[in-house]
């Protein structure tokens, strides 16, 4: 295919140039010129957003727009369907990002094989591996006979030609950073190439109602590589989280136009691939030691799912002049704030103590309801006294030492009762409204001092 005319556009001011400059001649921004193809003007019969050339979209009144009854498609993996909001939406574009080797290709190959047996042909376009390498992984995962088509290709135009030939029910591109368009002369993975490839795949997905999954690389700081517009263009952004030293993996939704955000799915990495974990609480509490100072069970909410995790704290005398504060799985700034509240409001002397905090299992907890679990774990380790057996906690701690109410308290208590916990220490504002069964007694607290008295023997 003969390349079309291209220009270099500044990403800061929009100025265009016929050749690349290190510095924009208009606004003076460095390294902001990106190669882009010249689009036809709307007046000369250019293509519409999703339709063929010559068609113009007319504005329609809101009341006259009919709601189509489109059923979601099952991927065959329950945890993936949960993260997507109940299944795959036809015509949606899903971006999956994560660290190298964490299991992105493994998960999508499992989903592709399962969807091919139930939905129809699936096209798996791999730009990083050959067909034989993908087949070797499929044999290890136990992929059975299914209409699954493998394509080792990085050229965008050839991938779209394969879509026309195969007519797949689902398209998977692994990865978007390896795809390039012949219309641009820049290298694959550049800002212009990633944006052009994502735009063309978006038009194909919307025009054909073709669900499309894109694999995205991440940078050193953990964010998705490429232009930020990539995350704006797609419908759903999923992050693959986990540590190499832990068997479980977490898929978290940070953007979803068709479902709730912050939803997560939990998987376990095995020799035959990723296995869905229907009860994450049992996984994270399976190796918890009983009656150990500094260990507290926290009732956390991730999306719409309650998860019980263990908060571990270790307080020891500092050997140097400056005390250390280390947190794994929690924001270190939040830990410093809670330590200041403990010292000022509860009278605990932590100025010369080293404090180490860990969320067991490698889970990252960001919600404010984890405050009471952190406070209880630190106080338990400092006093060297264990939290009362069978107790779970949740609640937000304010700067005045008050314990504030948190949402979805009944769901948290229900999960704790199902796992055999008999007491749940919670904010006083939630104790009256979260009536569960008699198996889990509610203990409402209004301040940090009351919480420590109720928790530590």
Which has the minimum average pLDDT: 139-148, 175-184, 428-437? 428-437
Predicted TM-score (pTM) of the model is 0.81
Report the share of the chain in percent with pLDDT over 70: 92
What's the rounded Cα separation, in Å, for the pair 208 and 92? 10
Q: Are 125 and 176 in contact (CB under 8 A)?
A: no
Query: Which tens digits make up the pLDDT trace of 387-412?
Result: 999 999 999 999 999 999 999 999 99
Q: Are 370 and 300 in contact (CB under 8 A)?
A: yes
- 146 or 67, which is more confident: 146
Q: What torsion do the CA atoms of 328, 331, 336, 341 make, to the nearest 10 degrees?
A: -110
Q: What integer pLDDT is reported at residue 45 of this predicted model?
A: 46
Q: What integer pLDDT is reported at residue 55 of this predicted model?
A: 57
What's the rounded Cα separation, in Å, for the pair 289 and 44? 72
| pLDDT at position 54 over 80 | no
| pLDDT at position 208 over 90 | yes
Which has the minimum average pLDDT: 60-64, 183-187, 266-270, 379-383? 183-187
Instruction: Tell me the mean pLDDT in the region 348-365.
Output: 90
Instruction: Tell me the mean pLDDT in the region 421-442.
Output: 79
Output phi, psi for 300, to 5 deg: -105, 155
- 3 or 264, which is more confident: 264
Query: Which tens digits make up the pLDDT trace of 101-139?
Result: 889 999 999 999 999 999 999 999 999 999 999 999 999
- 80 or 244, which is more confident: 80
Burial 410-447 (b: 16+ CB within 10 A, else e): ebbbbbbbbeebebbbbbbbbbeebebeeebbbbbbeb
Q: What integer pLDDT is reported at residue 127 of this predicted model?
A: 92
Highest-pLDDT range among 67-76, 159-168, 298-307: 159-168
Q: What integer pLDDT is reported at residue 51 of this predicted model?
A: 52
- 219 or 422, which is more confident: 422
Residue whose tokens read 């309801």: 369
pLDDT band, residue 219 (cuts 50/70/90): confident
Q: Are 154 and 179 in contact (CB under 8 A)?
A: yes
Query: Which tens digits make up the pLDDT trace of 16-48?
Result: 888 888 898 888 888 888 887 776 544 444 444
| pLDDT at position 279 over 90 | no
Least Cα distance to 348 among 199, 256, 456 occurs for: 456
Length of the chain, please?
457
């Amino acid at each position: 295919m003969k390349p079309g005319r291209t220009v270099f556009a500044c990403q800061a001011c929009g100025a265009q140039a016929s050749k690349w400059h290190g510095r924009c001649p208009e606004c003076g921004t460095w390294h902001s010129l990106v190669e882009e193809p010249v689009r036809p003007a709307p007046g000369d019969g250019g293509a519409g957003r999703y339709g063929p050339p010559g068609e113009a979209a007319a504005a329609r009144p809101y009341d006259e727009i009919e709601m189509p009854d489109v059923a979601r498609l099952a991927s065959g993996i329950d945890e993936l369907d949960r993260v997507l909001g109940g299944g795959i939406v036809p015509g949606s574009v899903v971006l999956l990002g994560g660290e190298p080797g964490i299991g992105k290709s493994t998960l999508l190959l499992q989903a592709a094989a399962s969807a091919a047996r139930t939905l129809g042909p699936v096209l798996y376009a791999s730009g990083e591996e050959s067909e034989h390498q993908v087949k070797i992984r499929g044999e290890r995962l136990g992929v059975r006979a299914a209409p699954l088509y493998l394509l080792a290709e990085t050229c965008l135009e050839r991938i779209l030609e394969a879509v026309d030939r195969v007519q797949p029910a689902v398209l998977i591109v692994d990865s978007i950073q390896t795809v390039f368009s012949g219309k641009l002369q820049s290298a694959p993975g550049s800002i212009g190439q990633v944006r052009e490839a994502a735009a063309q795949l978006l038009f194909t997905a919307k025009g054909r109602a073709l669900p499309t999954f894109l694999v995205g690389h991440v940078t050193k700081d953990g964010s998705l590589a490429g232009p930020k517009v990539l995350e704006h263009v797609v419908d759903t952004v999923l992050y693959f989280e986990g540590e190499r030293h832990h068997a479980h993996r977490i898929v978290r939704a940070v953007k979803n136009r068709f479902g709730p955000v912050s939803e997560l799915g939990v998987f376990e990495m095995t020799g035959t691939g990723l296995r869905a974990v229907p009860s994450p609480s049992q996984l994270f509490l399976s190796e918890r030691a009983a009656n150990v100072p500094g260990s507290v069970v926290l009732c956390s909410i991730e999306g719409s799912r309650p998860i019980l995790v263990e908060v571990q704290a270790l307080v020891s005398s500092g050997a140097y002049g400056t005390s250390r504060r280390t947190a794994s799985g929690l924001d270190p700034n939040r830990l410093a704030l809670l330590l200041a509240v403990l010292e000022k409001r509860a009278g605990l002397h932590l100025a010369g103590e080293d404090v180490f905090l860990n969320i067991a299992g490698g889970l990252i907890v960001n919600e404010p309801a984890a405050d009471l679990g952190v406070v209880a774990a630190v106080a338990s380790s400092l006093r060297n006294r264990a939290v009362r057996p069978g107790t779970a906690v949740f609640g937000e701690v304010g700067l005045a030492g008050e314990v504030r109410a948190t949402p979805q308290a009944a769901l948290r208590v229900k999960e704790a009762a199902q796992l055999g916990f008999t007491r749940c220490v919670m904010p006083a504002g939630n104790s009256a409204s979260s009536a569960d069964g008699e198996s889990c007694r509610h203990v409402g607290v209004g301040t940090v001092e009351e919480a420590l008295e109720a928790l530590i023997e």
